Structure 1
Amino acid sequence: MGRSDPKKPIFALKTGLAIAIVSALLFVSGSLSYVGDNIIWAILTVVLIFEFTVGATLSKGYNRALGTISAVVFALATAQISTWSGEWQEVVIVVSFFIIGSISSYVKLYPTMKAYEYAFRVFTLTFCILLVSGTSDFVQAALSRLLLIGVGSCVCLVVNLCVYPIWAGDDLHKSIVKNFRGVATSLEGCVTTYFQHFGYERISSKILVYQASDDPLYSGYRSVVQSSSQEDALLAFAVWEPPHGRYKMLKYPWSNYVKVSGALRHCALMVMAMHGCILAEIQAPSELRDVFKNEIQKVGAEGARILRELGNKLEKMENLSPDIDLLDKVHEAAEELQMKIDQKSYHLVNSEKWAAGKQPKEFADLDRLQDLKEDDMKPNVINSLSEANLKPLFPPLDSNVTNVSNHPSMVHWGSAEDMLKHQVQWPSQLSVLGDQILNVREVKTYESASALSLATYTSLLIEFVARLQNLVTAFEELSDKAKFSDPANPLEAKEAISLWTKLLKCVGIK
């Protein structure tokens, strides 16, 4: 874990350093009367508010300060009221516990107060502890504890800022760049695997129950689909951080990073659906896929190129080139695919059903028999169908396929523990008309569905291209608000290199 993420052991060392610094106050507690037994408040403060990132520490420190100061004020007022009440002092304190505990617990459930939940917890805890400790030296105890909490907070802030600071904004930035590349990898994998003719011989059960898997095609889009909560948490901490590193603006537009990630997630859902087509039980035959292979591969390659280009631009914090339309090539490829679908659309439907007219007798007989109730079925009704009536109107797309269970698109399930049990083959319901009628139904239904699965896959890919415009728009809005740098001009760079070469030659340096 330390090698994969060096920030984690560094955070652990920083936490230990902060606790050690605060604990050193024990050595001077003899000379400072207000420290005494209250040193535990400083240690508790470090343990509770020292977080992984600077923004999280600032947010939690603010909440703790807000809750503590409010609790001290309310506790002082309650202590004074209880002193005036004389023999009813204990009753006043108990009633105040009930009122404060109920109100604070109710208010923190309000949606807009979610960011201050920790402040409400600190407020309730501090209020109760101060009143339980007694009211004789209440002011001195409250001030000493407040002072030590401030000392612990300052130690946390100094250590977190000065010793290898870990920024929530930087983590948010890197996470979104990684998601761009992950979705691009998944898109390429979906296109490549779709033409490998049922390359999934074994499907991990983790994929089928949406759990983490080492399959790069699956993990690429999964990370961005489920990253919403993590990004919201990083955003809540990033807004607390001061200008730093490459993020030197006050009120840096971190919310626009989340918008870009949301637009990317909107595109990743299409990749997820395309992967679902690859994992489906019903698959289009390889001959039909090859008809649209070149166009689909071109769209997939261009889409992945755009995602990687946007990811690189975001990583470098550069604007898009104003002279180049980033979506021009992918739109052209999508148009070519759409034109190919229009020209070859007869491959995607049952062309024998196009002509309007009387329904073929074979289908009429089958539909009539299916509508009959099982109790009303007579043996002579089934026997009345001849062999000619039971033959399919057209042969299967694959001559070796007689039913769904024998089709090569059906994956082979392993018996290992990490593999899902054999799924029920489609269709799973048995017909009361006999196996012969069932085979006719299965083959004809499967032929139509298998062709439609290819239509579904291509429509998802075209929809992915359509959603790229929202992603580019969100990126341009971010680059404008964050004041990204302009991309370097290759011609100007070459001229600068040539000029420096001539100058070095003039001074005798090769």
Structure 2
Amino acid sequence: MEMAAAKGAQNGRSAPEWRVTVPEGASAMGEHEAGRAARAWAWLVSCVLTFRDKVLGFARRVWKIGADDPRRAVHGLKVGLALVLVSVFYYTRPLYDGVGGAAMWAVLTVVVVFEYTVGGCVYKGFNRAFATASAGVVALGVHWIASKSGDKFEPFICSGSVFLLAAMATFSRFIPTVKARFDYGVTIFILTYSLVAVSGYRVGALLAMAQQRISTVSIGIFICLAVCVLICPVWAGQELHRATVHNMEKLAGAVEACVEDYFAAAEVNNRQPSAKADGYKCVLNSKASEDAQGNLARWEPAHGKFGFRHPYGQYRNVGAAMRHCAYCVEALSGCIRSAETQAPAHAKRHLADACTRVAAQCARVLREASSSVSTMTTSRSLDLAVAETKTAVQEVQANLRALPANLLMDAAQLFTVTSLLINVSTRVEGVVDAVDTLASLAAFKAADDEKPAESGTKVCNP
């Protein structure tokens, strides 16, 4: 580094001037390090912002799940309350002394038995109680037989019983009736019997252990049922009932929207299908949910309008009839949205009014049936709507016969759409038949029975 000072004698300047010489390459190195630091800082800020966006997105999804159905949040609180109540038996000395160290089984019972719906809770509670009691009794009997056979044969009898009963119980799970109603109980039976039988060979007080196990499981089941039924209960039967009504409404909207979109495309180019036209998809995807809710609803006690022997199985028949109709609507929607050549405009205009009327009548029939199921009353206008649908179908068939024969090849897609629409109207009648059977089995009331009797005198407001 060099330093130079220059003095100005003429103008009286006495302050020195400093000059610094920087080695070559030092400035470039500083800029490079500054660039690396800036990139590292930008990367760190980007990571923090990405993490923040993911956390906020996850929080919004969780909030939406709870906002869509607040009962889900309530269910979490109910589970927490049940665990707090059952923990009293573990943390309180007098209660702990009464049930012993087996109090932990009550806690485990709450964890595995508590379900979202009352039917699910009753199903698991009954299966767990019956399986635990039966497995304990069988294990005690086998242990008594083994103890009488001598020390030489006792381990063989215990091991053989575990093998035989576990194999038979596991095979029974393939039986449809057992699979649908007692699958969970079979699993608990295998678990309980294996634990009791194997430990019974080494434990002297086998009877006391079995009693503690049954009592603590019973305590856990009782607390689960009390909390599930008494605090904001969610009934599987009501969920199945509402889902059936909702799917019927969606199917009605899909039939109407598909036909409207097809004939509106002739007037408006590049018209996008409406969202209602996809309503049939929820019907096609409802079978698993209907089967599960129908099986759980059988375990529920009478509540509200649902009696003890309410025909929940018929709801699955109604759902099957709706899916039979939805498959035809799906074919209709696929034909309408296909990229094939559209039919001549004048042919579509010739059939537009009649086909739209058939679709509207089919939607009306489905909505009338949905209203009948929703209110659990018989509808007088349902049969009238079915009759008007048949009349509209006859009109469509007459208009088809009136078309010139030379349009058959050019209007092939139009004829396909029309034939599918007629098929939909036939399958809608199948839905009505299933609803009529449900109304008969569930003893739906007449619509007039729900209306209060009108007084003969009228009161005039001043």
1:163 is matched with 231
The answer to whether the Cα contact below 8 Å between 1:179 and 1:223 also exists between their aligned partners in 2 is yes
2:255 is matched with 187
Q: CA 1:201–1:304 in 2, change beyond 3 Å: closer, same or farther?
A: same
Say whether 1:300 aligns with 2:359: yes
Q: CA deviation at 1:301?
A: 1.1
Q: CA deviation at 1:151?
A: 0.7
The answer to whether the Cα contact below 8 Å between 1:320 and 1:476 also exists between their aligned partners in 2 is no
1:270 is matched with 328
User: CA–CA distance in 1 between the matches of 2:426 and 2:156?
Assistant: 68
1:283 counterpart (338, 341, 344): 341
Q: CA deviation at 1:258?
A: 2.0
User: CA–CA distance in 2 between the matches of 1:142 and 1:200?
Assistant: 76
Q: CA 1:301–1:322 in 2, change beyond 3 Å: closer, same or farther?
A: closer
Letter paired with 1:126: T
Please, which runs of 5 or more residues in structure 1 have no aligned partner? 205-213, 350-447
User: CA–CA distance in 1 between the matches of 2:219 and 2:341?
Assistant: 66
Query: Percent identity over the alignment?
Result: 30
Letter paired with 2:84: A
2:281 is matched with 222
Q: CA deviation at 1:483?
A: 2.0
1:354 is matched with none
User: CA–CA distance in 1 between the matches of 2:119 and 2:292?
Assistant: 10
The answer to whether the Cα contact below 8 Å between 2:354 and 2:395 also exists between their aligned partners in 1 is yes
User: CA–CA distance in 2 between the matches of 1:69 and 1:324?
Assistant: 53
1:99 is matched with 164
With 141-150 and 307-316 compared, the bigger mean Cα shift is at 307-316
Q: Secondary structure at the match of 2:97?
A: coil
Higher relative contact order (CA 8 A, sep 6+): 1
1:258 counterpart (305, 313, 316): 316
Say whether 1:147 aligns with 2:215: yes
TM-score (norm 1): 0.72
Say whether 1:14 aligns with 2:78: yes
Q: CA 1:201–1:120 in 2, change beyond 3 Å: closer, same or farther?
A: farther
The answer to whether the Cα contact below 8 Å between 1:22 and 1:155 also exists between their aligned partners in 2 is yes
The answer to whether the Cα contact below 8 Å between 1:318 and 1:486 also exists between their aligned partners in 2 is yes
User: CA–CA distance in 2 between the matches of 1:328 and 1:86?
Assistant: 81
2:444 is matched with 484
The answer to whether the Cα contact below 8 Å between 1:11 and 1:52 also exists between their aligned partners in 2 is yes
Q: Is the radius of gyration larger for structure 1 or structure 2?
A: 2
1:455 is matched with 415
Q: Secondary structure at the match of 1:466?
A: helix
Q: CA 1:471–1:347 in 2, change beyond 3 Å: closer, same or farther?
A: farther
Q: CA 1:471–1:148 in 2, change beyond 3 Å: closer, same or farther?
A: same
2:48 is matched with none
2:20 is matched with none
Q: CA deviation at 1:71?
A: 0.8
The answer to whether the Cα contact below 8 Å between 2:90 and 2:104 also exists between their aligned partners in 1 is no
User: CA–CA distance in 2 between the matches of 1:86 and 1:329?
Assistant: 83
User: CA–CA distance in 2 between the matches of 1:146 and 1:228?
Assistant: 37
Q: CA deviation at 1:299?
A: 0.8
The answer to whether the Cα contact below 8 Å between 1:188 and 1:304 also exists between their aligned partners in 2 is yes
Please, which runs of 5 or more residues in structure 2 have no aligned partner? 1-64
Say whether 1:50 aligns with 2:114: yes
With 99-108 and 76-85 compared, the bigger mean Cα shift is at 76-85
Q: CA deviation at 1:29?
A: 4.1
* Aligned length, in residue pairs: 392
Say whether 1:333 aligns with 2:291: no
With 464-473 and 11-20 compared, the bigger mean Cα shift is at 464-473
1:311 counterpart (370, 380, 390): 370
Q: CA 1:332–1:31 in 2, change beyond 3 Å: closer, same or farther?
A: closer
Letter paired with 1:42: A
TM-score (norm 2): 0.79
User: CA–CA distance in 1 between the matches of 2:223 and 2:447?
Assistant: 42
Q: CA 1:477–1:23 in 2, change beyond 3 Å: closer, same or farther?
A: same
Q: CA 1:122–1:316 in 2, change beyond 3 Å: closer, same or farther?
A: same
Q: CA deviation at 1:489?
A: 9.1
Q: CA deviation at 1:167?
A: 0.4
Q: CA 1:96–1:334 in 2, change beyond 3 Å: closer, same or farther?
A: same
Letter paired with 2:111: V
